[in-house]
Structure 1
Amino acid sequence: MAYRKKEGEHHVLVITNDSTVFLTDRWVSAFEMFGGRVTEVEKLVCDIEDICYVSFGIISGRFGFIPADYVVMPYKEVPSCKADYEALQERVDYAGKIRQFSGPIFDKIVVCVPKDMFAIIKDSLPDGKVIAVTNEIYKDECERRGWTYLPRVGARVGNENHQRILEIIRSL
């Protein structure tokens, strides 16, 4: 039986990509595997969880787009440039998986990925629902599609963007 949202219930999807910082050499959830840049996004996910239902997906250099609770193992190749992101897309179609996963259940989709990866996934995302923490070159497109644009600050989110995202989600 399909899940049905209750009136007043809100769901948010947060999408980021992996990091070269692996916190363990054992098999653990993707949420527990990555340190470094992913830590900022994990903190955001934990804060959103205090407000509403949240799902967290990671674009992994080995497995493609996966829910953060999937168990993964460390791997050697972490994409870090446009050519790597394109090769990964060709191999595992992470944009297609995001399109399938980001269905109508989500009220907002927070995207925190590098600009070259954003270029690949942007057409897989629904109009009107995205909070894009990305490069300024996408500001006009975000406005045209009814998305909230936030400038990428530092490695991922930045404190001001973190607070702004929480405000937007509280207002749902």
Structure 2
Amino acid sequence: MARRRGDTREQIREVALKLFAEQGYEKTSLREIAERLGVTKAALYYHFKTKEDIVTSLFDDFKTEVDELFAWAREQSVTPEMRREFIRRYAEIIQGTGGTLMRFMQENGPAVRHLKAGDDMRKRFQALADVLVDKDASLPDQIRARLSIFSLHMTLFIRDAIDADDEAVQAAALEVALDLLPTG
């Protein structure tokens, strides 16, 4: 039975992300991705011409989810509860592929800095924090609001050092992020 185009494309993205995590972005070739998948390089080229195209497609999916969160936030009155719900929804986004992408960005910093997708992601992270920060709040409260997002991100990198299952770690990270949000 032949693979559907969407399935193959998704498999390429998953394998590429695993290889980028294992070996680094710069050290991973399209040939290695094709070999790991058991397809020809030509078959891979049918879906993606470059490694950057693969990374861009992964970031595009994440950006779509974050943009939907921004759209939701724009429709809300800015209240402490809205900000808490914003953090909850963002935590759900990064518990999946979003978290894998952030680890990819961290582990491949020099390579990602030169990719347009990486620059777009950094701008989105800043915009996420901007939703949470009340410009009239005290400086400590502005920092707490930004740290709420940062605490969710950092948990992705310290998971292996914590003796708990992923679900417990994610719940604890969300609790910390919510505790950091100013209440006023």
Check whether TM > 0.5: no
Quick one: higher RCO (CA 8 Å, sep 6+), 1 or 2?
1
Task: Tell me which protein shows more helix as a share of its residues.
Answer: 2
Task: Tell me which protein shows more strand as a share of its residues.
Answer: 1
Larger Rg: 2
- TM-score by length of structure 2 reads 0.29
- TM-score by length of structure 1 reads 0.30
